[in-house]
Chain A
Amino acid sequence: MRKRKILVQTVNGVSKSFKKQRSLEDSLKQFEEVFKGDDSFRVRHFASVSQDKTIKFCLLYLDGMVDPDILDTSIINPIIRTDFSDDSIPGADVIISQVITNHCAKKSRDSQELMLAIVRGDSVLLLDNSIDAIIVSSQGWKSRTPSEPEGEKLIRGPREGFVEPILDNLSLIRRRLSTPDLKYKEMVIGTRTKTKVGLVYIAGIANEQILNELIERIKKVEMDGIVLAGMLAEFIQDAPYSPFETIGFTERPDVAVADLLEGRIIVLVDGTSEALTLPYLFEKFFQSGDDYSLNYVFSTFSRLLRILSFWLTILAPALYVALMTYHQEMIPTSLFMSILAAREGVPFPTIVETIGLLLVFEILREAGIRMNISLANALSILGALVLGTAAVEARIVSATVIIVVALTGLTGLMTQKIKAPIVVIRAFLTLLAGFMGLYGILYGIIIVTLHMCSIRSFGVPYMMEYTSLNPEELKDTAMRAPIWFLKKRPKFIAKNRIRQTDRSRQR
């Protein structure tokens, strides 16, 4: 019991609330108490002087979070210049409606709300002799300009990408989707970070059941802070133990808009340039924004290529182990002879050799991602020359296995989006191949496909489009039919399924 209490306290790291005082000095003292130790906390005293009296004001803000111009022109300047002589004591309402020239100002007496406003970069105007204070929107910080995301480059298509502030991202979406049906629902997660999370969807297309389920799941999240979109995704996605992701990520507003038009829901998280898209089904792994701007024959070809490389990257080492260990008769004799000649003198069994080299490849890949870019040359020399050539010449591994691992790695690079499942499945299948040969691989694939068929993303089966056997739904999976064939939105995801008229292209 005691333990639990402590846990709640630590998670619930909210600063103590207080009851705001009437007098300016007293309430200022309260705020200074809260922000004690924070040297960027600024207090600006000023007053409006008229013939008979002096009215004191006090502006509270955090340096660096606010735009000084806004404070100057819309708060301090108008108040100092206003003559309050007619009124007895100006109330907060009067000041908001007649004096402050900022587009967004509201009164509040809730200490939590006032503190949050200061922390978020708004400024708080304290009035003398009033229990209310005024929150004036004054946020002004630097953010980078939208640039094309490194991880999702396209040959043809827009060059914009999401940035970190949530409202900038919303505007990137809204600029492409001029309809009042585009809805934005804001929620706040994280007892300490108070991260804004925005659900974007198109009313009338998005499925309300999925939306309600999503809102329920987000409401349940109780944590001190959400820093990345991926952290939120782990809380709300289905099949949380599965290596397969059932929530998608994108950094491209055009992709987000295409998803919205399919009836999916976009979740924006403040402070990350990634948007979550859901429901996310398996075929999305193989789709790319380029597919829709390039010729449909070519897009279909590249999609098939991606699917083929998915299978190759999980199967190549396993097949090699199975064929070399159990089923040598399946390899054409001349090929088998040359593999055998290459293996001559290698001390390890095939399975050890393969798994060892796969591990080396993964280490090289991870090192390549984490290291400083100036070390790239050193890494490639180390990888290619020392590990590759020297290991083969010293007869520690055979050349064939290097080819197999290189093929695995190359095809793996092509399907980066499914990295986590690929690594797990590849190791699983390779071990099974060493254990039971091709039958092990078959059993492994059966288990993997069964798993993919059994998981769901927000109630929508993960493999729905591949397994429904409905020609309408297969049009945008392994192949990419011409755009005018894609008449309907995906089942279950969208409420309203018709997306184009029959007349949209005369044939």
Chain B
Amino acid sequence: MQKEVISQKQAILLITTFIMGIGVTAGIGGVSKQDVWLAMLISMAASTIIIAVFCRIIKLFPQTDLFNLLDMLFGKIVGRIIALIFTWYAFHVGMVLISTISEFIRIVSLDSTPQCVITLVTGIVIAYAVRCGIEAVGRWVTIFFPVIIVISLSLTLLAINMYDYDRLKPFLYDGFKPVLQDAFTLISRPFAETVIFLGIAGCFQKSSNPYKIFYYSMLIGGFYLLQVSVRTIILIGTGNTSIQMFPPYVTVRLIKLGDFIQRIELIGAVSIVTSVFTKATAYLFFVSKGVSHLLNMDSYHVISTPVVLLTAAYSLFLFDNAVYVTEWAEKIFPLYALPYQILLPIIIWIAAEIKARKGKSNSGQNLSTANNNAGA
């Protein structure tokens, strides 16, 4: 089987789209309200630290997947237990994302279609994407990324006559605490979520620089989200933002250009669904790779369809309703994701540093055998 490779630019676009995939629910700025832009900037600044850890791990062991790396660092047993934990996390978030997409579609337009039909179709499409392989998805993203960006920017421009900049005031009315609280939420979702790209890092082109990949995507994705959240606030104000289920979607509904361009929120939905779809695909790549690694399979393509359909099926039972999803995403997720996004990566990083130092002092012997293992 030929090794899959995605170029640096494709990786940047993939991770950027992944980061954009948060914009569906009311996740952005639930507490900080009009100061969401500050929370966003703070979270971007803070997440540079944890992202540096991810990049360092990739830099130390390039061309290696997280799973092979875990085997190398902690041995077969402990490594596989950690791999199992990570896979569970990705599986769980994958479920949440599939249920988010299908809930969103059902609520905003197909209200008489049963949820399970939408979930199943979404699952099939994601399964196909995972089956096609990371390389195909990397190429695919380069086609859809410009679409998302063009849609979003044109919506921002079309709504320009309705902006009310006073809605960004008063600045820090409730003090600094809500801002920090939101910044914390925003670190865990979406910036530190990029931890799952450790599982795909083996596919990055040899010449690519992980720091560039992660930081560029964080900056582009971060400013995209900043633009969306500020647009939402200055269009409909904080009060409306907090009561709407999908605020960015609702803002698009307001756009009206003459008598011809009106009610174009579905075009906005295209960018939303595509970005969340990319995010779910990335998570389920991770799950498929994890499962195939745990079962000692050669390739994840075979296992991808059952894994994704299983995830889709479970997503039906995960939440009772969309409100619960939002609640979970805002309140529980940041704490739930803490070990996977911050604790475990730091442990892996420390182990990797030690291993790399040892490898260097043994004149690269360990490293080469380790790489051989990884290749096998």
Contact = CB atoms under 8 A, between A and B. Distances in A.
Given A327-B266, A453-B139, A469-B10, A437 B110 contact: yes
A439 B263 contact: no
Give the contact-size bracket for chain B: 35 or more
Interface in B109-137: 109-110, 113, 118, 121-122, 125, 128-129, 132-133, 135-137
Given A332-B259, A438-B269, A442-B273, A450 B129 contact: yes
Nearest to B259: A332
Contact of B110 (A436, A446, A454): A436
Nearest to B260: A332
A467 interface: yes
B140 A442 contact: no
Interface string B253-269: 00000011011101001
B9 interface: yes
A363 B290 CA distance: 50
A329 interface: yes
Interface residues of A, number: 28
Interface string A422-438: 00000000000001111
Residue among A332, A442, A450 with the highest chain B CB neighbour number at 10 A: A450
A436 B128 CA distance: 18
Contacts of B277: 446
Given A327-B266, A447-B128, A436 B139 contact: no
A330 interface: yes
Q: Is the interface of A mostly helix, strand, loop or mixed?
A: helix
Contacts of A330: 262-264, 266
B217 interface: no
B266 to A, nearest CB: 5
Interface in A284-318: none
Contacts of B113: 436
A65 to B, nearest CB: 48
B79 to A, nearest CB: 31
B144 interface: yes
Contacts of A485: none
A443 B139 contact: no
A447 B129 CA distance: 7
Contacts of B121: 435-436, 440, 443
B270 interface: yes
A327 B269 CA distance: 13
B143 interface: yes
A436 B140 contact: no
A422 to B, nearest CB: 18
Contacts of A435: 121
B105 interface: yes
Contacts of A454: 132-133, 135-136
Contact of B136 (A326, A437, A450): A450
A507 B132 CA distance: 46
A437 B270 CA distance: 12
Contacts of A439: 105, 109-110, 118, 269, 273
A449 B274 CA distance: 13
Contacts of A329: 263
Interface in A331-363: 332-334
A322 B279 CA distance: 26
Contacts of B371: none
B274 A468 contact: no
Given A443-B121, A447-B125, A469 B136 contact: no
Contacts of A442: 270, 273-274
A453 B140 contact: yes
Nearest to A331: B263
A332 B113 CA distance: 25
A386 B35 CA distance: 66
Contacts of B274: 442, 446
B7 A468 contact: yes
Contacts of A440: 121
Contacts of A333: 259
Contact of B132 (A443, A450, A466, A469): A450
24 contacts: A326-B110, A327-B266, A330-B263, A330-B266, A436-B105, A436-B110, A438-B266, A438-B269, A439-B273, A440-B121, A442-B273, A443-B121, A446-B125, A446-B274, A447-B125, A449-B143, A450-B128, A451-B132, A453-B140, A454-B133, A461-B139, A463-B139, A468-B142, A469-B9
Interface of B: 7, 9-10, 13, 105, 109-110, 113, 118, 121-122, 125, 128-129, 132-133, 135-137, 139-140, 142-144, 259-260, 262-264, 266, 269-270, 273-274, 277
Q: Which 10 A-B pairs have the closest CB atoms?
A: A454-B136, A453-B139, A467-B139, A454-B132, A467-B142, A453-B136, A469-B9, A329-B263, A453-B140, A443-B125
